[in-house]
Structure 1
Amino acid sequence: MTTLVKHAPGWTIFDNVYMSGGAMFIVTDTPSDWPAIRMMTSTGLRAENTPENIATREPTDRDMRFITMKEAEQLFGNRVWPVKGVSFLVNDPGQFVSHYYHFVAETWMGLWRFYSSLDSDINVYGETKLESPARIIYPHCKENEWRDYSTFNQYFMHAVFPSISLETQLDWEGRAKMTESRGPGTQKAFRYDRVVLSDRSAAFRGELCPGRNQRIVSEAWEPTRKESSKYWWEPVRRSVLRFARVEPKTIDANVLWAKEWDGVSNGDEVPTEKQIEVGKTASRRMPVVITYVVRSGNRRSMIKEDHEALVKSLTNLCDSKRWELNIVHAERLTKDEQIQLAARTTIMLGIHGNGLTHLVWMPLTPLSTVIEIFIPGGFAKDYEWTSRALGMRHYAVWNDTYFTHPKEPGVSLPEGFQGNQIPAHGPSIAQLIEDRIEGRLP
């Protein structure tokens, strides 16, 4: 029998699920006890926001079906081959997988959040009793589609799970062809010990993702609050930092505050008085590292004069406070160097874009902050939601005005959102940073 271990829209953990002819088979005599198939999976086709395309992503029997134990015996008999260990299966098209943010801060963060909720005892050192996944499967991605142009996807996956094997569309189709029926008594099946299934289209059929934050990971994150350790991300973060040769004392920056600070926020709470007081203590005791991620190219960049004024304001602030300032052009650093810097960063700022994904490697301390610059009137939830999910404070900036949760603006992509004339008032941003570190802001 197939066992349902855990489910949320777009995220499901099964034990003993079968695959034959490309379809997944849930063997159960009580299908009414299970979630609707459309809440677990889809056809995995490319996603577009049109009624016609949405209809093509509704699953059919060729994607997943329920069968009874008797039907399974009739279909497969003893022609079943076990696939041992834990399998992460990402049922998304390459459209999303080949982007560093979507790959790490959506898919993998969701996979790990959902899976790690099975171990509520993960500690501040990232120690866990969970079995590492044996394989990652992308049934709808060609061999190179999961790789991003910066090659951080590969870096991440092999740093966190160095023994993991990879299967893509060609491998999945090969398994499907090997198991398909060629007449009575010939159909075979692979039986997977445990599958952690992620499906973007199914996540968008939930309540949180489409209605509140547009983050598929939220469907995995929200319902697992009670089961999850507040250090759930530490096994992943620490693996990447060790791979990047980050010094142990830097990796352990958050350990210094684990006992003093009860403020690993659930992403929605206003900080308590105790958290604010500990934050003020942190500002006196912690080394402060400001990292300004500069976007290159003509897409989504700052007005040249405003960038120069921001650098001047940040330089003056950090010189007067004796704080460390890093003006970063990521393409000029190695991957190890980028991770090493993120691991030491107190406040990361920059224009909305892929470079801010490195916030996932920052230490979780009372001062950890992300400042994201938008064209006035524009706002996207990507890095705002990710920051809060990890327990960090996020500020959205429109030139000389800032917003933070729970009073952030609604999602909007106005004209100029992707342009190269985004304004930023350097003195106001520098003042925001000073107020945050000095404890005048939560």
Structure 2
Amino acid sequence: MRRDVLLLSVATTGLLIIVWHSRSIWNADCPAPPLPQLISSLPQVTLHNETDDIEGKRKLAMSWLEWNGQSSIVAHGASHAAMAGLSSTSDGLRSSAIEATEMVLHTAGNTVFSNLYIYDGAVHIVTDNPAALPELKRITSNGASLNTGNSNPTKEDIRVLSVGEAETVFGGSAVVWEGISWMITEHPEFIAHYYHYTAEILLSLQRSTTALNLTLPPPVRLLFPHTAHAAFRDGPGMNAYVSLAAFPSSQLLFSDTWADMHATKRAYKLERAVIFDRAAAMSGPAHGASWKPISEAMSLPTVVEDWWGEVRERVVGFAGGQVLQPGSAEVRKRVVTYVSRQKGNRRALRREDHAALVNSLHEASEELGFELNVVELEGMSKAEQIALAARTTVLMGVHGNGLTSLVWMRPSPHSAVFEFFMPGGWFRDYEITARSLGIMYRGFWYDTSFSYPGFNGRDVEGFHSADIPVHALHVVAELRRALLYGLREHVLHDP
């Protein structure tokens, strides 16, 4: 009897192994289906609430699962295929034979590599076909401040070696760093700033990663070769908060670690590296048209329309906000948030115009049934700011860092950002961020509004004034359009 049971157990186990193996092969060979679009053109809906497309989100959830499964199996198979070239060093580190670097995709300032190397304090591209590479200044920089006027990389920053040369220089092997590495090689002058770090650097890196048409895990590490710990920290502490929330299992490695790596005299192979560099992005055509580095990353294709969604929902969940669960029956009430800067003495509304705007917004909220929040961010915790932004349909305020919270908004046919300027002045920081995330945008010059393509940046007299005018009734009229129908492009041409 015991023998029969034992034989049955062995047979069952063998069958499970065969089924699992067959499914693995099937998943590895079959391409993943395209992800359904998250944003669609919708007709006028009920004013008080916005209902999510439940069936669409159910399909989305299944697509994520299938895509994640395929990515894991492909990575698993690739690891086994590479095992022949792997060995353990005497100190227990996993090392690998030297393989050629592959440039997976590239646009100025945003490049994805497989098998990228770090040695002697410099990035190394190993290839027998250097003519296929773009100019190195379009990949990285020397880490100098943009104010110096010379950020072109030298051999101290990036080198190109043939496979044979690399085998000799590296001593025949390299220590393997598995997973995805994000590398930010620019000067720290823009890193210690919530907007530049989150809305430009992180958005660019995530866009480049999702352009691979795969649902990839979060980066294992973020490398800052030219940035010290202290230079990473912005005044309000948002950079550290966002990094902990978005990448809870990722290492943040700064210039001291880069120096330590150099001191080991070892070569390190990054299995997959995504490099962002502001100076390099500035050499690209898309940046030349917009003067914003994220334009280069946005020129890359992606099949994931809500490509920022994974990062956004991790941060919102960390902040204690309600996470958007695909497939859940969720009804969202329309929420309007006005970020007030009236307690400051820089870039604030004229007192009487601020009072008129608040009064008009309260009246509109009673008529249209939306939730209104008039907030001063200095009185809110980081978690409160992020959780509120995630619920917000329309975010408005004077040009300033407080509008960076738009990156936590969820795109919908009714989501929009309203930005108030001194008439004649405009910068594209939040316009291009909003449009990149599928959120409509309006800039306001008193009783006139405009959107993309708008104008080139202008720093007019009074741009930073605490006496900026705004026409409350015009703002409310545009708000009504956004909540009722969704905004259409409305462009005020440069006279």
The bucket for the TM-score relative to the shorter chain is 0.7 to 0.9
Instruction: Give the counterpart of 1:170 among 256, 259, 276.
Output: 256
Larger Rg, first or second structure (1 or 2): 2
If the length of structure 1 is used for normalisation, what is the TM-score? 0.84
After superposition, the Cα gap between the structure-2 partners of 1:172 and 1:64, relative to the gap in structure 1 and judged at 3 Å, is same
Instruction: Supply the distance in 2 between the matched residues of 1:384 and 1:324 (Cα, whole angstroms).
Output: 24
Residue-by-residue CA offset, 1:102-141 (whole Å, 9 max, x unaligned): 1111000000000011235xxxxxxx3x132111111111
Shift of 1:349: 0.3
Percent of pairs with identical residues: 37
Partner of 2:425 in structure 1?
378
Q: Which runs of 5+ in 1 are unaligned?
A: 121-127, 180-187, 258-284
Partner of 2:120 in structure 1?
21
Partner of 2:363 in structure 1?
316
1:100 has 2:206 as partner = no
Partner of 2:457 in structure 1?
411
Alignment of 1:150-229 (within 5 A): 150-179=236-265, 188-209=266-287, 211-224=288-301, 227-229=302-304
1:38 has 2:137 as partner = yes
- Contact 1:291/1:345, CA 8 A, preserved across alignment: yes
Instruction: Supply the distance in 1 between the matched residues of 2:106 and 2:303 (Cα, whole angstroms).
Output: 14
Shift of 1:223: 2.4
Instruction: Supply the distance in 1 between the matched residues of 2:354 and 2:179 (Cα, whole angstroms).
Output: 50
After superposition, the Cα gap between the structure-2 partners of 1:441 and 1:102, relative to the gap in structure 1 and judged at 3 Å, is closer
1:54 has 2:54 as partner = no
Instruction: Supply the distance in 2 between the matched residues of 1:441 and 1:81 (Cα, whole angstroms).
Output: 52
Residue-by-residue CA offset, 1:384-428 (whole Å, 9 max, x unaligned): 01111111110000011111224x233211111112111111122
Residue-by-residue CA offset, 1:296-331 (whole Å, 9 max, x unaligned): 421211112211111111111112222211001111
If the length of structure 2 is used for normalisation, what is the TM-score? 0.75
- Contact 2:208/2:300, CA 8 A, preserved across alignment: no
Instruction: Supply the distance in 2 between the matched residues of 1:84 and 1:78 (Cα, whole angstroms).
Output: 19
SS in structure 2 opposite 1:145? Answer: helix
- Contact 1:254/1:365, CA 8 A, preserved across alignment: no
Partner of 1:279 in structure 2?
none
Flag as ranges the 4+ runs of structure 1 deviating above 3 A: 252-257
CA RMSD of aligned residues (A): 1.8
Q: How many residues align?
A: 388
- Contact 2:211/2:300, CA 8 A, preserved across alignment: no
Instruction: Supply the distance in 2 between the matched residues of 1:2 and 1:239 (Cα, whole angstroms).
Output: 32
Alignment of 1:48-87 (within 5 A): 48=147, 53-55=148-150, 57-78=151-172, 80-87=174-181
Shift of 1:67: 0.8
1:145 has 2:231 as partner = yes
Residue-by-residue CA offset, 1:120-171 (whole Å, 9 max, x unaligned): 5xxxxxxx3x132111111111111111111111111111110111111111
Alignment of 1:261-280 (within 5 A): none
Which residue identity is paired with 2:423? P
Partner of 2:468 in structure 1?
422
Residue-by-residue CA offset, 1:229-281 (whole Å, 9 max, x unaligned): 11211101111111122224xx2599879xxxxxxxxxxxxxxxxxxxxxxxx
SS in structure 2 opposite 1:420? Answer: coil
Partner of 1:247 in structure 2?
322
After superposition, the Cα gap between the structure-2 partners of 1:163 and 1:142, relative to the gap in structure 1 and judged at 3 Å, is same
- Contact 1:403/1:409, CA 8 A, preserved across alignment: no
Instruction: Supply the distance in 2 between the matched residues of 1:72 and 1:323 (Cα, whole angstroms).
Output: 62
After superposition, the Cα gap between the structure-2 partners of 1:156 and 1:286, relative to the gap in structure 1 and judged at 3 Å, is closer
Residue-by-residue CA offset, 1:38-96 (whole Å, 9 max, x unaligned): 11011011112xxxx222x1111111111111111221223532222211110112110
